[in-house]
Structure 1
């Protein structure tokens, strides 16, 4: 009952994305299973926790220990703790509990990692090639997906949410709906200006039954879904990258890093990415510093 109320709260009042709501639901379901079956007994015993006020700091600490024993990364553990922190903060506001047992839990130390990117010159060469993408609807759709992710730096959820009417050819921009339902306007490059009308014309000629106005659709005309975009990105990035991580977010990182390397200022990149604060954008400066170091080592005789 309380969990359902919380999910309704973040879904309709906080207006979190479907992906975020699903992640919160999964974390909380996992925590509840742990509380009522800490030893992993089979079959599970009758529930021992019937009200959130019964949950203690020690229960949360024990779950954290189990997550660490399961070899989860510090980042993943911290995300689950953040879910609990948000949940109990909601319960506190609603007067359902008197204290937040998560407030005493310390976050795990997380090693700073640089954003994973692909080489922009190789990516551009692939997109400009006539041999990579087929000329039919799936091929043109796949190319548009890569061009949009690399050309605008938008998130996966933002890509899936774009409607045909969100594109302004006259203004040369696309409107996207970001986190917390914040709209932003992003310029589109010349390649997208020519590719989008071609794609939309081919999409219309497919005569799909449902006639969806969502920009990116499946081969049958249904709205695209996250796994489809992942498969598209992985398929084409495998042509130019041997790294294990080949996700839509890698193209977002590549967009930001490329912009920074070519002289864009951080505040402009922040606005384009839809970051709430500059600290989230500053991580891309580390990639640029590493690039400068490598250039220095290759070019300077004393390096």
Structure 2
């Protein structure tokens, strides 16, 4: 049953490899828990009280609310799959509530900070330096996810129309416009790319290692952390902070919320609305400064 569910995620829902592995790991952990605690070898036999016991055990072991809720979501998906497949007659997660998650506001960089981070003098005048600059500039000016950047190939970039095509979550494609400045810098990056390796082909990855191999998540993390350490005061220094900054700056400049939603590749508006708090804070500051009765 577990194998059938994993195949369903991979081939029917077209979930990412990361999601499939996370679901599989969660279910294996739950299977181990009910085997040790209740002597049950099949997770299809678990009932509501046993699932709740696992949730309590996770909390007592210090797992974050976000992690526990993700594991609850895994179980919900799994048992709904079993119900549809008629492997079970009742969903044991039906009355299972998610834990209340304290709302965390996304961290972002101030405009003067991002200006310093993207200054040309910060980067060495060689392939590695120009590639690093492209990583930082691309993340900020497009708002792409880490996986979207590492998976990007030269054929996904249309400099003539000044757009890029990225493959987002659930293998959903979207088009993102790029600025004329970014387009010019991509041309310059392409030049040092070809000087270092060979003529760019459409199938080549856009961001590569010093040896021309495809980039990978930890490499991008290291690049972002290195350059943000020079200027940023935020506690988090990750590629996602650049994405947060992209969205926040757009909204602060008056961008339409639905347009930002589409640029980010969000499936619903609620995921994008988390960024509006920064715009509201700016409006409040303007109001307090300008309104005669404030």
Normalising by structure 2, we get a TM-score of 0.91
Aligned residues: 291
* 1:177–1:183 CA contact under 8 A, matched in 2: yes
Q: Which runs of 4+ in 1 moved over 4 A?
A: 294-303
The yes-or-no answer on 1:196 pairing with 2:186 is yes
CA-based RMSD of the aligned residues comes to 2.1
What SS does structure 1 have at the residue aligned with 2:174?
strand
Mark the runs of 5 or more structure 2 residues left unpaired by the alignment.
none
Equivalent residue of 1:30, what SS?
helix
Are residues 29 and 242 of structure 1, via their aligned partners in 2, closer, same or farther at CA, if it must alter by over 3 Å?
farther
* 8 Å CA contact retained: 1:115, 1:287: no
CA contact (8 A) 1:166 1:175 kept: yes
Normalising by structure 1, we get a TM-score of 0.89
Pick the aligned partner of 1:290 from 281, 286, 291: 281
Q: Deviations over 1:85-138 (max 9, x none)?
A: 1111112222222222112111111122211111122112320241x1112222
C-alpha separation in 2, matches of 1:284 and 1:299 = 24
After superposition, the C-alpha distances for 1:159-212 in whole angstroms (9 at most, x for unaligned) are 11211100001000000011122111101112321221222232233337xx86
Contact (CA 8 Å) 2:30, 2:43: kept in 1 or not?
no
In structure 2, distance between residues paired with 1:52 and 1:34: 10
**2:102 is equivalent to residue 111 of structure 1:** yes
* C-alpha distance in 2 between matches for 1:258 and 1:233: 18
Where does residue 147 of structure 2 map in the other structure? 157
Identify the residue that residue 42 of structure 1 maps to in structure 2: none
Indicate whether 1:217 and 2:208 are aligned.
yes
Q: Residues of 1 paired with 2:18 and 2:292: CA distance?
A: 50
- Once the two structures are TM-superposed, the CA of residue 295 in structure 1 deviates from its matched residue by 5.2
Match of 2:57 in 1: 66
CA distance change for structure 1 residues 129 and 214 in 2, over 3 Å: closer, same or farther?
Answer: closer
Paired residue for 1:277?
268
Mark the runs of 5 or more structure 1 residues left unpaired by the alignment: 39-46
